[in-house]
Structure 1
Amino acid sequence: MKGVREIYLDNAATTKTSDKVMKKIIDMCTEFYGNPSSMHNKGLESDNMIREAAQIVSKAILCSEDDIYFTSGGTEANNMAIRGVSKANKKRGNHIITTEIEHSSVRNVYRSLEEEGFRVTYLNVDKEGYVNEDELKNAVNDDTILVSIMYVNNEIGTKQNIEKLGNIIKNKNSKTYFHVDAIQAFGKYVINVDREKIDLMSISGHKIHAPKGIGALYVRKGVKITPIIYGGGQEGGMRSGTENTSGIVALGETTKETYKNLKVNTEKMVEFKTKLVSELFKKVSDVYVNGPDIEKSAPHILSLRFKDIKGEALLHSLSDVGIYISMGSACAAKKHDLSKTLSSIGLTENEIYGTVRLSFSPDNYVDDIPYIVDNIATAVEKIRKVLKG
């Protein structure tokens, strides 16, 4: 916004594409523009760059590059995993499991499969958003073909113990596939798909400073899965359509940079979040953290609940002064539906309406915290006065 100091605190919704990645994209569009399916040198050049990106992504999660399939983003990756596995394994069983706090790109796929005759179990979570392990263990049976659980919740930052949950699933039924939506975890944590018993995992580029429109799905070798998009047989027949070469290369570049600087970037975000909460709680009354304590939650996500205000009013007040936050998941923001995640952890309707989400990146600086806190305090005071009449 011209003439206004801008502080972007909505990085769980999307991130700014880095300058280094933008240069790669321009190079891909102007120099390395060949169709990767073409057999001439220009096409082979593009295909080699795709393979190089697959190697980078696979190295980050400790798998084979042949197990990485590029998609248009996280939503497609989730659909591809859930529908692809469910359809391919229906003769073996029709029971699938997920949680009450999944992203809509998981939850709504499960609902559609439920309408098609699959039996779905929705696991409950506690007040911090953690899956009930006993409930999971009791839910998995001989008929269970798939379990989907997100690594990090996009609204409240709950980080599940994926390794423990994976072991529970495999110990109960070794043939049950474990799908993990890691869209908010990739680039924030070291992920080991073998150790954590992950069979399929979804990631998204624009959450880690790549452009929108690129994601990937990890599929463990041997997983029985059917494509959901048919055509020319690209991506080993798993995902037809001409590859988004520039997006794929950008995802590889940002993955490399993100994991090279993972420790430093994580420490920066933790410091920013910790200081922000400390200063905010000094200046604003009746404000609470939703979900886990900030020491336990993902470094980049903070869900705050304010008494006697509307979160949407706070969002717009801060936007007017160049501070950009959200009310929760960007994918559901315009529907004005009550957050399923917040209701699942026990919040009332008024508490849900009083909730906002702040989400961070290494581009946020502690020097901006006084400006952020002062503007939140001013906005909250004004909103409370208006609502109290």
Structure 2
Amino acid sequence: MLRAMRYLDYAATTPVLPEVTDAMVAVLTGDFGNPSSVHAYGRAAREIVEDARDRVASAVGASPAEIVFTAGGTEADNLAIKGATRKLRGNGNHVITTAFEHHAVLDTVEWLGHDEFETTVLPVGPDGLVDPAAVAAAVRPSTILVSIMAVNNEIGTAQPLAEIARAVKGANPSTLVHTDAVQMLGNLPVNVHELGLDFAAFSAHKFGGPKGVGFLFARSHAPVEALLHGGGHEGGLRSGTLNVPGLAGLGVAAEIAAKEVDHKIERVGGLRTRLWQGIEDSIERVRLNGHPTERVPGTLNVSFEGADGETLLLLFDAAGIACSAGSACQSGAIDPSHVLLAIGVPREIAKGSVRFSLGRESTDEDVDAVLEVLPGIVESARRVG
């Protein structure tokens, strides 16, 4: 059992909601059938799967037929990027992304570069915003796909996706637009069609659902081919027996996330603002990373000059505060974040960065706990250097 801790790492993962647990347990203990089976057990499981698809589609403004279930955001990103470029290889060989994407996108695009595709990695501004005009200027007649994340997982900056999509389609109507939207659902309102997207990747554990399950929005008739072959599940795009308990949880979590988002923006945004004001008032030589207003409500990335990020995290952990140095997927080795370097943070300052991320269960007491121990932690970390 973990000791009592204050959890400020919601961007890494979120607690599973009680309603989600209830939905999953009901399936695990009762509806155990294979949804591909034609008998009553299979039909009951299939009903659960399609109910989840309906809930997910409603949460993001899609139709159920445009939802492809996956094992998470990374698989969904790979399915969109690799699946679309393979399908359209004869129409072009150029892909565009940005320098501060999640590695699920950056590494996939880099992989395409070894497969005879030309890739363009665009810079981002010091506030983490992507310029739609710069994206449009990079589009060529041979550009198959543009991939730009909706919300950066480390600094919380939210992109002007609708403007970017319009700019891309204005430059080349055939170019597809993909976004890693893993940090979007539950933090901002989502309507994939209003945003002008062709593909969007989501992951359940970022909005109160279970780990190991996610989905790809693939616009109706968007060209994409499967990465996994076998039983032809998910309209032939993702073979493999479906994770029925996980999908039941995903559907409930997505529905709750969409329903509560406006309240969350107001309440959690207020907590984040108070946390930043407290940091700024009590600590010298501190820097806010990312855009001050165009951001999700809960994520706050701060650089403490003269301190080491690993030391800061260890001291916070010892004080009962769970936070992060950036992307949880990169936390095995605390090197300067590629995201912070991409927005121009000097390497030595980037090393002293901490991401605090608040969420649905965060409280004023959590903020108070951080601010109480912060001056001593930063002072100790700076002494260590």
Q: TM-score normalized by structure 2?
A: 0.98
1:300 to 295, 298, 301: 298
Structure 2 distance, partners of 1:281, 1:191, is 32
Q: Could you say which residue in structure 2 is the equivalent of 1:52?
A: 51
SS class of match (1:261): helix
* 8 Å CA contact retained: 2:188, 2:296: no
Structure 1 unaligned spans of 5+? none
Structure 2 unaligned spans of 5+? none
What letter is aligned with 1:267?
E
Structure 1 distance, partners of 2:23, 2:133, is 47
What letter is aligned with 2:27?
M
Q: Could you say which residue in structure 2 is the equivalent of 1:182?
A: 181
* 8 Å CA contact retained: 1:163, 1:197: yes
Q: Could you say which residue in structure 2 is the equivalent of 1:193?
A: 192
Q: CA deviation at 1:378?
A: 1.2
Q: Alignment length, in residue pairs?
A: 385
- The 5 Å alignment of 1:73-152 reads 73-152=72-151
Structure 1 distance, partners of 2:46, 2:288, is 47
Structure 2 distance, partners of 1:338, 1:87, is 34
Structure 1 distance, partners of 2:196, 2:264, is 27
2:379 to 378, 381, 389: 381
What letter is aligned with 1:275?
R
Deviations 1:205-226 (A, max 9, x none): 0000111000000001111111
- Percentage identity across paired residues of the two chains: 35
1:340 aligns with 2:342: no
Q: CA deviation at 1:197?
A: 1.1
Q: Could you say which residue in structure 2 is the equivalent of 1:244?
A: 243
Structure 2 distance, partners of 1:263, 1:134, is 30
1:330 aligns with 2:331: no
SS class of match (2:230): coil
What letter is aligned with 2:164?
L
Deviations 1:301-323 (A, max 9, x none): 11000011001111111111211
Q: CA deviation at 1:132?
A: 2.6
Q: CA deviation at 1:110?
A: 0.3
Structure 1 distance, partners of 2:185, 2:381, is 37
* 8 Å CA contact retained: 1:36, 1:46: yes
Structure 1 distance, partners of 2:138, 2:352, is 34
Q: CA deviation at 1:260?
A: 1.6
Q: CA deviation at 1:281?
A: 1.8
Structure 2 distance, partners of 1:103, 1:62, is 24
Deviations 1:131-165 (A, max 9, x none): 13232111111101100000000011110000000
Calculate the aligned-residue CA RMSD, in Å: 1.1
Q: Could you say which residue in structure 1 is the equivalent of 2:26?
A: 27
- Shift >6 Å, 4+ stretches: none
Q: Could you say which residue in structure 1 is the equivalent of 2:71?
A: 72
Q: Could you say which residue in structure 2 is the equivalent of 1:153?
A: 152
* 8 Å CA contact retained: 1:124, 1:132: no
* 8 Å CA contact retained: 2:185, 2:258: no
* 8 Å CA contact retained: 2:286, 2:305: yes
SS class of match (2:192): coil
Q: CA deviation at 1:124?
A: 0.9
* 8 Å CA contact retained: 1:140, 1:172: yes
Change over 3 Å in CA distance of 1:89–1:337 after alignment to 2? farther
Deviations 1:190-244 (A, max 9, x none): 2222221100000000000111000000001111111000011111111000001
Structure 2 distance, partners of 1:36, 1:193, is 28
* 8 Å CA contact retained: 2:55, 2:255: yes
Q: Could you say which residue in structure 1 is the equivalent of 2:364?
A: 366
What letter is aligned with 1:211?
P
Q: CA deviation at 1:178?
A: 0.4
Q: TM-score normalized by structure 1?
A: 0.97
Q: Could you say which residue in structure 1 is the equivalent of 2:223?
A: 224
Q: CA deviation at 1:60?
A: 1.5
Deviations 1:335-363 (A, max 9, x none): 33432211111111111101111111120
Structure 1 distance, partners of 2:350, 2:23, is 41
Structure 2 distance, partners of 1:369, 1:192, is 32
Q: CA deviation at 1:104?
A: 0.2
* 8 Å CA contact retained: 1:303, 1:356: yes
Q: CA deviation at 1:297?
A: 1.5
* 8 Å CA contact retained: 1:5, 1:321: no
- The 5 Å alignment of 1:249-288 reads 249-288=248-287
Structure 1 distance, partners of 2:164, 2:132, is 7
